[in-house]
Amino acid sequence: MPTGPNSPRLDRRSFLRAGAFGAAVGGATLLAGCGDDLRDPGVPPLPGGDTKPADTATWRLQGDPLIAGSGSGPLAGRTVAVTDLFAVEGQRVGAGNPRWLGLAPTETTTADSISRLLGQGAAVAGITQTVDFGFGHSGVNAAYGTPANPAASGRIPGGATSGAATAVALGSASVGLGPDTIGSVLIPASYQGLWGFGPTHGTVSVLGMMPLSKTLDRVGWVCADPTTLIAVGDALLPPASASPFGAAVTAPGVTAVADEHVQPAVREALASWRRSALPPLSEQDLDIAELPDWYDAVTTVQGYEAWQQHGAWVSTAVGSVGDEARANFLAASKISESTYRRSLDELGAAGRSVRDYLGSRVLVMPTAASPAPSTADDPGNVLVAEKLRTTGMLVAVAAVAGLPTVTVPVTSPGGLPVGLSLVGPPGRDRDLLALAGRMAGTGIAARS
SS3 letters across the chain: CCCCCCCCCCCHHHHHHHHHHHHHHHHHCCCCCCCCCCCCCCCCCCCCCCECCCCCCCEEEEEEEEECCCCCCCCCCCEEEEECCECCCCCCCCCCCHHHHHHCCCCCCCCHHHHHHHHCCCEEEEEECCCHHHCCCCCCCCCCCCCCCCCCCCECCCCCCHHHHHHHHCCCCCEEEEECCCCCCHHHHHHCCCEEEECCCCCCCCCCECCCCCCCCCEEEEECCHHHHHHHHHHHCCCCCCCCCCCEEECHHHHCCCCCCHHHHHHHHHHHHHHCCCCCEEECCCCHHHHHHHHHHHHHHHHHHHHHHHHHHHCCCHHHCCHHHHHHHHHHHCCCHHHHHHHHHHHHHHHHHHHHHHCCCEEEEECCCCCCCECCCCHHHHHHHHHHHHHHHHHHHHHCCCCCEEEEEEECCCCCEEEEEEECCCCCHHHHHHHHHHHCCCCCCCCC
Contacts of 190 (CB under 8 A, 6+ apart): 158, 196, 367, 368, 407, 409, 417, 418, 419
Q: At what angle do helices 323-333 and 291-314 cross, to 10 degrees?
A: 100
Cα–Cα distance for residue pair 231/264, rounded to 1 Å: 31
For the chain, give every domain's residue range. 12-439
Residues 6+ apart with CB under 8 A from 54: none
How are beta strands 362-366 and 417-423 bridged, if at all?
antiparallel
Looking at residue 10, its pLDDT comes to 39
In order along its 448 residues, the chain shows pLDDT tens digits of 554 565 434 344 444 433 432 333 233 223 323 333 333 444 444 433 466 687 999 999 999 999 999 889 999 999 999 999 999 999 999 999 999 999 999 999 999 999 999 999 999 999 999 999 999 999 999 999 999 999 999 999 999 999 999 999 999 999 999 999 999 999 999 999 999 999 999 999 999 999 999 999 999 999 999 999 999 999 999 999 999 999 999 999 999 999 999 999 999 999 999 999 999 999 999 999 999 999 999 999 999 999 999 999 999 998 999 999 999 999 999 999 999 999 999 999 999 999 999 999 999 999 999 999 998 877 678 889 999 999 999 999 999 999 999 999 999 999 999 999 999 999 999 999 999 999 988 989 996 4
d(CA 331, CA 354): 27
pTM over 0.85: yes
CA distances from 136 to 50, 140, 183, 358 (A): 29, 8, 10, 28
Q: In degrees, to the nearest 5, what angle opens at C-alpha 53 toward C-alphas 47 and 56? A: 135
Terminal Cα distance for the chain, rounded: 35
By the 8 A CB rule, do 329 and 321 touch? yes
Write the CA distances from 116 to 46, 238, 304, 365, integer angstroms.
20, 12, 31, 31
Contact 369, 262 (CB under 8 A): yes
User: What's the residue count for the chain?
Assistant: 448
Residues 6 or more apart whose CB falls under 8 angstroms from that of 240 comprise: 427, 429, 430, 431
The CATH superfamily holding the domain 12-439 is Amidase signature (AS) domain (3.90.1300.10)
Query: What does the buried/exposed string (b/e) look like for 166-194 if buried means 16 or more CB atoms within 10 Å of the residue's CB?
Result: bbbbbebbbbbbbbbbbbbbbbbbbbbbb
Count CB-CB contacts under 10 A for residue 100. Answer: 24
Q: In angstroms, rounded to a whole number, what is the distance separating the alpha carbons of residues 232 and 199?
A: 11
